[in-house]
Amino acid sequence: MAKSTRKAKKPNVVAAARAGKGGSRPSRGTVWENVKGIGSAILIFLFIRAFFFEAYRIPSGSMIPALLVGDWLFVNKMVYGPHVPFTSVNLPGYAEPKRYEVVVFQSPYQIDQPEDPTPTLVKRLVGMPGDTLHMRDAKLFINGIEQRQGYGASSEPGDPNETSPLFDWQKQVALTSSRFGPAPSQPTHDNWGPLVIPAGHYFMMGDNRYQSKDSRYWGLVPRENMRGRPTFVYYSWNADDSDRPLPFLTDIRWSRIGHWIK
């Protein structure tokens, strides 16, 4: 009886060993479930990035002092209506662009930089549809009313008489006669217009007026090019000071984090 019992147990021991050996390998179903989980997380991230919120880094000083080089912005893409990637479709937003808001947008075509002719930019909206804009001696006038220097008051000095072939687009839309006087035959950095902003278009300028390539150079921004409104700075790195080790940590501008953008 004892001998018979031992023989009966051997197949069970072998079967258990085989089961244990096989159990160390993930099944195809488990691998597929992991792949689906990772893929779903990526798709959710891309969906949120495309339609709700996105990060944007300030690469230049055109918006100093409002925005500094190395600021990372949290951009609300729902406000003006998110753009559907790889299409010309814009979904409805819950607000329209307003004067003096800081706006993230796709630039009109820039003929002088074929390597990246339509970059994503951030500027301040100064001209609304229907406005008549002109500038005299660095002073901006909207519908004949001189605007406070405000955001552009602390701009670094530059050449007020700068001319550029990029200004020539203004000649096609500038007014030859108006109650504000005629447009100059040759627009310059600080003397141009008057010109009327057509429906569905906006005029953008950088706060750092003499260090900003803006609508004076590449023209008006169509409404469909709007991509969002930056809300606050969530990270800021002083890119000019890289002497210390681990600059992405040691050169953080802590006072900028959480800064609300106006």
Taking the CA atoms of 65, 68, 74 and 79 in sequence, report the sign of the dihedral they define. positive
- Evaluate if residue 100 carries a pLDDT over 50: yes
Burial class for 19, CB neighbours closer than 10 Å (0-12, 13-18, 19+): exposed
The pLDDT, as a whole number, for residue 241 is: 60
**Chain segment 34-65, per-residue pLDDT in tens:** 776 777 667 665 656 555 668 899 999 999 99
| HSE value, Cβ hemisphere, 13 Å, CA-based, for 155 | 22
The pLDDT, as a whole number, for residue 1 is: 47
Mean pLDDT lowest for which of 71-85, 125-139, 211-225?
Answer: 71-85
pLDDT band at 172 (very low <50, low <70, confident <90, very high): very high
The pLDDT, as a whole number, for residue 85 is: 81
pLDDT band at 140 (very low <50, low <70, confident <90, very high): very high
What distances in angstroms separate CA 45 from CA 49, 52, 57, one per listed residue? 6, 10, 18
**How much of the chain exceeds pLDDT 90, in percent?**
63
**Chain segment 141-151, per-residue pLDDT in tens:** 999 999 987 76
- Closest by alpha carbon to 50, among 237, 259, 228? 228
Verify cis geometry, omega within 30 degrees of 0, for the bond prior to 194.
Answer: yes
The pLDDT, as a whole number, for residue 159 is: 87
Residues in Cβ contact with 187 at an 8 Å cutoff, skipping those fewer than 6 apart: 163, 167, 168, 170, 171, 174, 193, 216
Which H or E run includes 135?
strand 132-136
**How much of the chain exceeds pLDDT 70, in percent?**
81
What integer is the mean pLDDT of 77-90?
Answer: 88
Residues 56 and 52: their CA atoms lie apart, in Å, by 13
Backbone angles phi, psi at 57, to 5 degrees: -105, 135
Residues 180 and 185: their CA atoms lie apart, in Å, by 15
First to last CA, the chain: 92
* Tokens read off for 147: 């605007």
pLDDT band at 158 (very low <50, low <70, confident <90, very high): confident
The pLDDT, as a whole number, for residue 62 is: 93
Which H or E run includes 55?
strand 53-57
